[in-house]
A = this chain, B = another copy of it.
Amino acid sequence: MKRRLTSFLSKIQILSQFDASLEKLAQRKEDSIVNSIVEYIQKHQSSFIEELKEFLRIPSISASKAHREDCRRAAQWLMARFQSMGFENSLHETAGNPVVLAQYKAGEGKPTLLIYGHYDVQPADPEDLWLTPPFEPSIQYGKIFARGATDDKGQIYTHIKAAEAHLKIRGSLPVNLIFLIEGEEEIASNNLEKFIRENKDKLRADAAVISDGSQFALDAPAICYGLRGICVEEIRVEGAGWDLHSGSFGGATPNPLNEMCAIVAKLKDAKGKITIPGFYDDVAPLEPWEKKAFAELPWDDESFCCELKLPGLFGEEGYSTIERKWARPTLDVNGIFGGYEGEGSKTIIPAWGGAKITMRLVPHQNPKKISALFREYVQEIAPPHIRILFAPHSGCGPVAFPRSAPFMAEAENAIQNAFGKPPVFIREGGSIPIVLTMKEELGLHTLLLGWGQPDDGAHSPNERFHLQDFERGIAASAWLMELCGKK
């Protein structure tokens, strides 16, 4: 009986050894496929870059009505890419620029990733500060320079090329993919929420993926678990019905520009604190683990200051630079205008002036509530001898995800495999309105996997994207599809 049992057990052992080697064999085959995919990605870099250049040449500036047709061209360019890869794709009209939706069904039971990006870009001005024209991509120092290079054309394209690599080598995809690429991210994604609400069935997924940010630093890839929100305001301050001669009327009539400056100046105090009553009421304080983690990140204020050619740093008293950038709300004038801006002088009291102001918000501030507080305060501090008008408000709420969110671990491993080191966990100061919408409307957590660098110059002249990050981004995306498919 004992021998029989031994023999039986040894048979099981042999069988299980056999199973193990079968598994190993499968694993080796899988490994060899992934290796081939990565090889394919490496081998085709130069053609990928040429394609990206095509994309970057389209001046798809969403803020300017004059570029409406260019935005459509960018959407159509993407449609053609998906078409050639065998995706089901469709162009969806909105009240603004169209949304590109492209889908690949790998099979029932496989997880689904919803990859979001945007084909619109920021305006290129001030154009005279660009060393090469913003819409004529050029490669220098291992980087590709163009408006949209890192934000977001270059980054969204990494996922498209990762899918292509899987399809070329494996003939199929390990996960179901939905690409959702919009054209109004740079103007607050005002039409996307409606689109998502009306197309929930087409957007069912297990997690969302966005690459529209940056790594923590060179050779410090990151996963971002929190974003600031934004509250967008614009004030117009009016005095007389028309510009007045500053000699004949100066001293006796209010000057809207002086008054506008006084109003803006009263929005923050000398310690960098925003003075709008109630502004900080809903701000979640930093968790102790976050304060510790942020403090442990490699950071040097002096180099930061020097790199940006700043005369000095300035921010809210009592917080570190990283805390100020990621986890504290802000109030910034993005543009100011009024009166004579040309050469020389024009001695007028201008009829009006305007200021574009955005406030970055952190959990759990609400943009609509902040907008109301802002307007109430501005009205309160505005003197009776001027008129204040407000442009329509837009905004989006802040967001933060737990470390246990779906596919967070797979993203960590994918980055480890592609970049050769584990990611750090960070928050970001920018806003990606879609992240909140996907959470609220689709119940999705988002993997925020920025492949760019903090100094890529997003929104600035000479925007750029490291070609190495472009390649590693494609590889990391390919790995992510691979690892999620195994779960």
Report A's interface with B, CB cutoff 8 A.
62-65, 122-123, 125-126, 129, 186-188, 214, 228, 230, 232, 234, 238-255, 257-258, 260-262, 264-268, 270, 272, 304, 308-316, 321-322, 324-325, 328-350, 353, 355-356, 358, 360, 383-387, 394, 428-431, 454, 457-462
Contact of A358 among B64, B241, B266, B347 (CB under 8 A): B347
**Whole-angstrom distance between the alpha carbons of A186 and B265 in the complex?**
32
Chain B residues with Cβ under 8 A from A244's Cβ?
Answer: 308, 459-460
Contact of A325 among B243, B251, B257 (CB under 8 A): B251
Known: A243-B126, A254-B314. A336 touches B309 (CB 8 A): no
* Contact A324–B252 (Cβ < 8 Å): yes
Contact of A249 among B64, B267, B325 (CB under 8 A): B325
* Contact A313–B360 (Cβ < 8 Å): no
**Whole-angstrom distance between the alpha carbons of A346 and B138 in the complex?**
24
* Contact A340–B334 (Cβ < 8 Å): yes
Chain B residues with Cβ under 8 A from A339's Cβ?
Answer: 333-336, 356
* Contact A385–B313 (Cβ < 8 Å): yes
* Contact B308–A334 (Cβ < 8 Å): no
Closest to A384 in B: B312
Chain B residues with Cβ under 8 A from A122's Cβ?
Answer: 346
- Stoichiometry (number of copies): 2
Chain B residues with Cβ under 8 A from A332's Cβ?
Answer: 246, 250, 255, 257-258, 349
* Contact A460–B356 (Cβ < 8 Å): no
13 A-B pairs in the complex with CB atoms less than 8 angstroms apart: A247-B428, A250-B330, A251-B324, A251-B330, A252-B322, A254-B314, A311-B385, A333-B350, A334-B339, A335-B341, A337-B337, A347-B430, A348-B460
Closest to A308 in B: B240
| Cβ of A350 to closest chain B Cβ, rounded Å | 7
**Whole-angstrom distance between the alpha carbons of A487 and B94 in the complex?**
82
Decide if the interface of chain A is mainly helix, strand, loop or mixed: loop
**Whole-angstrom distance between the alpha carbons of A250 and B246 in the complex?**
36
Chain B residues with Cβ under 8 A from A255's Cβ?
Answer: 332-333
Chain B residues with Cβ under 8 A from A245's Cβ?
Answer: 429-430, 458-460
Known: A244-B459, A247-B430, A310-B253. A63 touches B258 (CB 8 A): no
Closest to A352 in B: B126
**Whole-angstrom distance between the alpha carbons of A129 and B350 in the complex?**
13
* Contact A63–B343 (Cβ < 8 Å): yes
Chain B residues with Cβ under 8 A from A353's Cβ?
Answer: 336
**Whole-angstrom distance between the alpha carbons of A321 and B129 in the complex?**
46
Closest to A188 in B: B345
Known: A265-B265, A344-B187, A346-B123. A311 touches B249 (CB 8 A): no
Contact of A385 among B239, B252, B310 (CB under 8 A): B310
Chain B residues with Cβ under 8 A from A248's Cβ?
Answer: 214, 325, 428-430, 454, 458
Known: A261-B336, A345-B358. A461 touches B251 (CB 8 A): no
* Contact B246–A334 (Cβ < 8 Å): yes
| Cβ of A24 to closest chain B Cβ, rounded Å | 45
Known: A261-B265, A335-B338, A339-B333. A346 touches B459 (CB 8 A): yes
* Contact A251–B459 (Cβ < 8 Å): no
Closest to A326 in B: B251
